[in-house]
Amino acid sequence: MNTLIMTERKITNFYDVKFKPFDNYGLAIEGMSWYKISYDKESGGNGSYLLKMDPNAKSLPHTHIGYEEFLMVEGELIDSDGKIFKKGDFVTFEPGSSHSSHTKDGCLILVFMRGINKPL
């Protein structure tokens, strides 16, 4: 007989969360907000979060200390080299890579972090 052990779980509905100002680098960045799913800066910056960027929002230029991966859920994001990430794109930035991004019309992104980014 198999015995199943119920573990704790968290269910997040992307469209029913309370976003807070994105303050991962200290001060909040205008036009950016987030909902932490499992992200924990204190334990080394690992985990995942939802990132919402309002129209014309811009991220700070930064370097990736560990891998950063994200799934574009809604909208478009334009990277510093002009590459446009669209709904459904899964993007991987390797450790040591640097960039910044912006959005014209706003976007929603599911981010998976392995390490804290370093602002430039």
Q: Which of 30, 67, 68, 69 is nearest to 52 (CA)?
A: 30
| Averaged pLDDT score across all residues of the chain | 92
Residue range 32-119, CATH number: 2.60.120.10
Quote the CA–CA distance of 120 and 112 in Å, as a whole number: 20
Domains of the chain by residue range: 32-119
At residue 49, the 3 state secondary structure works out as strand
At residue 48, the 3 state secondary structure works out as strand
The answer to whether residue 106 scores a pLDDT higher than 70 is: yes
The answer to whether residue 112 scores a pLDDT higher than 90 is: yes
Predicted pLDDT at 2: 65
